[in-house]
Amino acid sequence: MAIAPIYSATKAAVHSFTMSLRHQLEDTAIEVIEVALPAVNTDLGGAGLHTFGTPVDEFADAIFKGLEGGKTEIGYARAEKAMRMSRDEIDDSVMLMYANLKNTIL
């Protein structure tokens, strides 16, 4: 996302690192699990700053369900869908997000 380049690059780097680590350790007893977070309604950064997004309890329940199911990549809501998108789908999704953001600001 152009509005948050460091945040976006960091998420991409963590995903790439997690995939590489998972492959390096596949013949060991170590399990590498990635959790992709959607927007979550928390008090991170201060009360009332993140009132949008998935309720934290709903998100946590979904993550534990994925862990119990043996998933190595776990997402929820928009993050689950984004994990499975093709490059073209990602580009389309980001363009739609920017268009919606512009309409919200104007």
Catalytic annotation, residues: 7
Q: Distance between CA 82 and CA 86 in Å, rounded?
A: 9
H or E element that contains 61: helix 56-68
Q: Which residues neighbour 43 within 8 Å (Cβ) at sequence distance 6 or greater?
A: 49, 50
**Chain position carrying tokens 């991409």:** 12
